[in-house]
Each structure stands twice: as C-alpha cells, then as structure tokens.
Structure 1
Amino acid sequence: MPAARPNVPRPSLVDDGAELPLACKRQRLLDVAKRSRSGLFLYPLFWLVIVHVYAYASTHPVFTLIAALGLVVGAAARYGLEGRLARFASHDFRLAQRSFAWASWIFQGYWGLLCAYIVGTAESEPMRWSMLMATIGLAAGATAIMAIDAPLARWYAPLLLGPTCVVLALQGGYANWALATVFVLFFFYALKIIALVSGDYEARQRAHVLLERRAEELATAHESMRRLATYDDLTGLMNRRHMTLLLHLRAEVHRNGGDAFSIALVDLDHFKQINDVWSHAVGDEVLQGFADIARRALHDTDIIARWGGEEFLILLPYTPDRTAEASLERLRRQLADTPIAPGVPGLRLNFSAGISEHRVDEAIEQAIDRADRGLYQAKADGRGRTERV
C-alpha cells in the first residue's frame, strides 16, 4: 500500500496579507472613475424619459425641473471630478479617494430619494413601476461596474434602493413587503458579487506587483552576476577574465594602427609573511588597501586588475609625457607613505614589478609572459624594484 502523501501547503504566489502599494490603490481609484464615467448621464436621461412618457412632468413641472437639474448638475460635477482625479490622486491620494467616494454616494443617494418619493406619491401605477425598474437596473449596473472597489460599491445598493425599501415597508401589504424583502436579499447578493469581483481585481494587482518584484530581483541578480564576472569580489578591481578580454581588444587595436601600451605585472612583497604573522584577515585588508591606493595613484587611463592572489596586472597606455615606470614609482611612493591595513597601523607595503611593451607582431600572451619574466627578475634582484623586459 503506497504511503500517504504529506499534506504540504502550496506556497502562495501572492501575499494576501500585505498591503498593496499606493500606486496600486491609485490605479484602482482611476479604474473605478473610468468605469463610472460612461454611465453618469443615464440617470438624468432615465428621469426625463419616465416623467414625460407617463405625463408626470406636465402635472409636476417644478419638481420635475428641479430634480432634473439636480441630476444633470450632479452628473456634470462627478464627470468633472473624475476627469481631474489623476492629478488629485497624485497630489493627495487620501483626499482624492474620500472626495470621489462622497461624490458618488451623494449622487446615488439623490436618485434613491427621488425614487422613494415617486414610489410613495405617484398616482400612476406604471409610473411607479417604471421608476422602480429603472432604479433596480441602475443599482445592479452601478454595483457591478464599481465592484472592483468594495468599500465604495457596497453602499450603492442601499443608497439606491434603501429609501424605496423603507417606503414599501411603511406602506404595508403583502406585495410591498415581498418587494422590500427582495430588495434586502438583493443587498446581500450585491455584497457577494462585490466581494468576488474586488477580490479578483486585487488578486490580479497583487500578481502584477509580484511579477514586477520578481523582475527587479532578476535584474539585481543579473547585475550581481555581471559584476562577479567582471570584478574581483574582495578588492573591487577588474578580475583576470575581464582584463584578459580587454587586453586582447587593445592588442587588436594596436595591430590596426592604434596607440601602443605597456603591461605591468605587480607582486606584493612578503605578502605570505603578512598572512602568517598577522592573519589572513589582515592580508585581506592589505589587498583592499593596495587596490584603493592604486586607484588613486594611477592615472585615469591606467587600468588595474587583480591577476591572482597578491599579483596585479596594470594596463598602461602610451603617453608622450610619462613612462610606465613613472606611474609605478608614484604608486610605490604613496604605498610607503600610507598605512595599508587599519588593523596594523605601522605596516607599510612595497612591491616588485615587471614591465613589457606590447609589440604589434606578437600575441598578448607573449607580452604578459615578458612582463612576468621581468617580475621574477625584480624579485631575484632584491624585490622592491621594477624591471622592463
């Protein structure tokens, strides 16, 4: 009998408990405004059609005009607010969010009171039912459209249908009570729809945020890998692999008529003794200190790389006003005058070096080999010196 698989919870792609960034909340507000904008003028249009079809406007002209003006002004005000919402939300998101919510609720509540008044006072039964059907349609449509913002949308059905529900309950009768009960059930149904739609919208927002975060992490990892492939982790200098590519490129440029250049191989004197006497931690400080001093002492056109261990390679482009030896001597003087390791203030550093000038007809490896021979000659002659080969 096969063993039962352990019930291991699957990791969620989206952290449901984390608060969404402000940019996501702002985008949600703008999406809600964009969705609602197209249906704003349906309210005054429905009102004008209903009151004229059933001759309500002719018997109640003042009320009809005032109600119509209220709807038109409210729709225009909301349309203007929603058109400027992007700028408001960028300046003060909380204020924009509250302003939009209250403007929406007041507009819906105005129609809800209008509907309740007609249902409670209209003499024509078709007029009452037409107003009621229009309100139910607007409640369903507006709730569905605005459902991506649950705190805003959950008030739409109560504001549109709530006053009429109260009027029906007060008027009494089984038909009115049944209709009021349907309204109450619709409220709960609307809340369920709002929860589903807003949850789906928020999940998509969270997935988008997660994808952006993963993209940033990948970009950071890519940059870290690029640096690891290009620079030495301890000293921050160019590493051997990248310097080799650069040397081949410079050699090719030289063969095609470009400027000449020299190569210097530098080895720190008595570095093994530093590790043995003061520890490898101090040895690391020495390597880092040498790299910092070399970056300051060498010219901007000189390029230094960690070649391996305590050995460094310096690419020295040809200039008529100075020599490669002069650059190395300036580095040597600065090393003699500068504490190299914070842990051992009295420690000073020197180096041996070999220099070779690249020849047009030779491979770069040959120039490196000649610099290496010069380095060994400098060591054999007592260290702390530079030899050209």
Structure 2
Amino acid sequence: MPENNTPSLSGLARLLNAVLGTDLLQRVRVSRALMAAFVYAMGCLLCEFGLRQWQLPPMGVRLCQLSSVLAASGMYLAVRTGWSLRFVDPSLAVAQIMVAQVAAAMVYAVMSPVRGAMLSLQVMIALFAISSLGLRAQLQMAGNALLVMGLTMVALTELSPQTYAPAMEWTHFTVLLTVLAPVSLLGVQLTTMRARLATQKAALETALDRIQTLVDKDEMTGLLNRRAMRDMAMHHLKLQSRSGDGSVLALIDLDAFKRINDLYGHAVGDDALRLFAQEVCKVLRDTDLVARWGGEEFLILLTATTADQALVAMDRVRDGLMKAEGPPQAPDLRVHFSAGVAEMTPLEPLDKALERAEAALHRAKVLGRNRSELALEPALSEVTAALIKSTRAF
C-alpha cells in the first residue's frame, strides 16, 4: 500500500506546484486569484441557468460568460506567471476587485428576473476588499461599486424601461447603498483594529527586545553579563567538543581600578570600563564572546583560537588602550589590565578552565601587572576523568 500511495502523493505535489507555484507568498496570491475564478465560474453557471429557465437574451449571456472567463484567466495568469510582481501590489487586489465589480454589474443586467439577488455579489466583493485592502482603498472600492451599479441601473432604465422599471432600480440601488454602508463601516473598524494590533505588536516586540537586552547585557558597558556569558559559553563549548576546534578563555582584570575611582571619581571609573569594552570589541571577531564578569573583571571566550593567538589578541587590546584618549575628565588616563589566558582542552568543564585562568591572572598580578600569563595545562587525571564521564553518558 505505501508503495502505491507514494506516486499519487508526489503527483499531487507536482500538480499543486504547477498550478500554485513553489513560492509560499506567491501561492497565497495565486490561491486568491483562483478563489475569484471560482466566483466567476458560479456566475457563468447562473447565467447559463437563467438562459434555459427564463429565456434570457443569448447574446448578453454569452458576452457575460466570455467576459468572466477572460477576467478570471487573465488575473490568474498575471499573478501565476509573476507578471504582477512589477507592481506595488503583486496580488493586483484593486484591479481584481474593480474587474469583479464590472462583471457583477453585467450579471445583474443579464439576470433580469432575479437581478435583486445578484446585488449580493457586490457585497461579497466588498467583504473581499475588507480582507485585502487598506482603509482608503476600501472606501474607494465601496464608492466604485455604487458608481458602477448606479450607471448600470441608469443605462438599463433608459434602454429597457419596461423590464427595468426606474422605481425598482432605485429600490435596488437604495438596498445596495444600505448594505454597503455598514459593510464599509465594519471595514473601517476592522482596519483600525488591525492597525492598532500591528502597533501593539511592534511595541511588544520592542519591549521584549529591550527586556532581553536588559537580561543578557551589562547596562554600563553593553557587553554580555555574567549569566548570559555562562550560558553562551557552555553552548559554544558543546559545539567545540563536536567540531574539535580549540577555544581559549581570557580572564581580565583592570589594574589599579580602585585607585582610578579614588583619584578621579566613580564617573571616570565607569568611563574607564566603557573604554575597555570599546577597545576589546574592536579586536574581537563576531564569533568571540566578551562579558563583564563582575566589577572591573572581564571574561573573553575566543573560539577556534590557540593560546598564542589569544596572547596576541590581548597585546592588540593593550596597544589600543595605550593609543586611546582617556575620559574627558582625565584625558591623560591610560587603562591597563592583566590577563590570565587558559587554552581549553577537550571535555574540560568551564569552571575548571576558569580556575586555571584565574590562577594565571593572579600570577600576572604578582609579576608586575599590565601583562598576560598563560595558564598551566590541567592535570592528566582530570582530563581522564572527564573522558570517562563523557563515555558513560553515551
């Protein structure tokens, strides 16, 4: 059974692709054109029924049917072939509505015995306008429907007053006006509601982005905060364990930061933190992570990097800080830092690597500050234990 079903499903998919296309947005446009074509087809069947039931004028019926077929096929081909993409509205909604209004007026003229019921076609077209057009275009289409039907009714009363009595046509026009008015009002309300919902959605997305920024970013420096850095570092390390690329942690502490606060004030201290964040971001790549780890401490994760490359990156940051002008209140201030660099080994826990980087940072401080020190490699037993734990997990 499955073998028999597979070809039919693939055949159906090919048929749908041929009729609707493969682009999802284009499929929506083509589907709307096909819905309009279905309404045209129903109109043609009504005219055929009227021709046989009430002996309607054959020429008028055939002209109405021909016009409907040409309108339906023309709109479908314009959208399906992509010709409509050259316009601002690729779905040709306004054009389709105007053509449909004229076609509905022709059906009204042909179906004289039951033409009052054909007024519902104009109402259906107005409802379609509500779902696909803006407020101004909706009102224009409602006015166009009244104009088309008004001119049609006037012409019919002039050409055949015996069949199309003026009093009856005025009654039909009044009914159409009475129905289109609340429909248009409904369209105004729905469009206003959609606009309000769109505004609220945009405001909500902005608020969510702001909240996410506050959650993930350090407000002063704009860098990642400690929580976000830990989460993202864990994710990167999992990817590293699969790809085999090396990663390096650099734990950084600004030298004599308390002295900066005491000598220049906390405002200058904050400027020093922001200056460091600005300079370090100039050196790092998009794939690297940097966070304010706490106080005057920063943590950097350099992906696909060796320890030597990380040390070079630290020197570049140091050179950038030496060339950068200090805060406005202390332009001669130069920010220095010490760094502990730890090359991460496969399957090493993040906390273990942090401990090694912290030990290297402490050594840099002891050896005179304003320097970078490479962390010692982890003990072999720790690596073996990590490998055993990983093997058991599988």
Q: Equivalents in 2 of 1:158, 1:305: separation in Å?
A: 71
Matches within 5 A, 1:188-199: 188-199=174-185
Give 2:223's aligned residue.
237
Contact 2:216 2:227 in 1 (8 A): yes
Alpha-carbon deviations, 1:224-281, whole Å to 9, x = none? 444443333443333211333456678889999x788664432223434545666655
**Paired position in structure 2 for 1:58:** none
Secondary structure at the counterpart of residue 186 of structure 1: helix
1:271 aligns with 2:250: no
Structure 2, unaligned stretches of length 5 or more?
A: 1-28, 130-141, 376-394
Aligned partner of 2:72: which letter? Answer: Y
1:307 CA drift (Å): 0.8
Sort the Cα spacing of 1:44 and 1:263 in 2 relative to 1 into closer, same or farther, 3 A. closer
Equivalences for residues 1-389 of structure 1 within 5 A: 33=36, 36-42=39-45, 44-45=47-48, 48-49=51-52, 52=55, 66-84=59-77, 86=79, 90-92=85-87, 96=92, 99-100=95-96, 103-104=99-100, 106-107=102-103, 132-138=112-118, 140-148=119-127, 149=129, 150-155=142-147, 157-165=149-157, 180-200=166-186, 203-204=189-190, 207=193, 214=200, 217-245=203-231, 263-275=249-261, 282-297=268-283, 303-315=289-301, 322=308, 325-339=311-325, 341=327, 345-355=331-341, 364-365=350-351, 368-369=354-355, 371-372=357-358, 375=361, 378-379=364-365, 382-386=368-372
Q: CA deviation at 1:191?
A: 1.7
What one-letter code is carried by the residue in structure 1 that aligns with 2:115? T
Question: Counterpart of 2:223 in 1: which secondary structure?
Answer: coil
Shift of 1:312: 0.9
Shift of 1:77: 2.8
Where 1:195 maps in the other structure, the secondary structure is: helix
Please give the secondary structure, in 2, of the residue aligned with 1:41: helix
CA shift in 2, pair 1:32/1:284, >3 Å = farther
Check the 8 A contact 1:353/1:387 in 2, yes or no: yes
- 1:339 to partner: Cα distance: 3.1
CA distance in 2, matches of 1:44, 1:348: 89
Structure 1 counterpart SS, 2:308: coil
- With over 3 angstroms needed to count, the CA separation of the structure-2 counterparts of 1:240 and 1:163, relative to structure 1, is same
Q: Runs ≥4 in structure 1, deviation > 6 angstroms?
A: 249-256, 258-261, 317-321, 357-363
User: For residue 12 of structure 1, what is the aligned residue in structure 2?
Assistant: none
Contact 2:223 2:277 in 1 (8 A): yes
Q: In 2, distance between residues paired with 1:226 and 1:337?
A: 34
Deviation of residue 308 (structure 1)?
1.5
Could you say which residue in structure 2 is the equivalent of 1:16?
none
- State how far apart, in whole Å, the 2-side matches of 1:100 and 1:318 are: 57
**Is the contact made by 1:105 and 1:156 (CA closer than 8 Å) also made in structure 2?**
yes
The letter of the residue matching 1:189 is V
Q: Report the alpha carbon displacement of residue 347 of structure 1 after superposing the two structures with TM.
A: 3.5
Measured in 2, the distance between the counterparts of 1:294 and 1:193 equals 67
- TM-score after normalising by structure 1: 0.61
Kindly tell me: are residues 224 and 30 of structure 1, through their superposed partners in 2, closer, same or farther at Cα, counting changes over 3 Å? farther
Contact 2:325–2:331 (CA<8 Å) still a contact in 1?
Answer: yes
- What code does the residue aligned with 1:335 have? L
Structure holding more helix per residue: 2
Q: Which runs of 5+ in 1 are unaligned?
A: 1-25, 54-63, 116-130
Contact 1:293 1:335 in 2 (8 A): yes
Which AA in structure 1 matches 2:229?
M
- Percent same amino acid among aligned pairs? 27
Which structure exhibits the higher relative contact order, with contacts defined as CA atoms closer than 8 Å and separated by 6 or more residues? 1
Q: Residues 238 and 49 (structure 1 numbering): CA distance in 2 closer, same or farther, change over 3 Å?
A: same
1:306 deviates by: 1.1
Local SS of the residue matching 1:295:
helix
Q: Of the two, which has the highest radius of gyration?
A: 1
Aligned residues of 2:248 and 2:342 also touching (Cα < 8 A): yes
- Note closer, same or farther for the CA distance 1:71–1:318 as it changes in structure 2 (3 Å cut): closer
Tell me the distance in 2 between the aligned counterparts of 1:242 and 1:161.
70
Q: Aligned partners of 1:94 and 1:248: how far apart in 2?
A: 47
Task: Measure, in 2, the Cα distance between the counterparts of 1:153 and 1:347.
Answer: 75
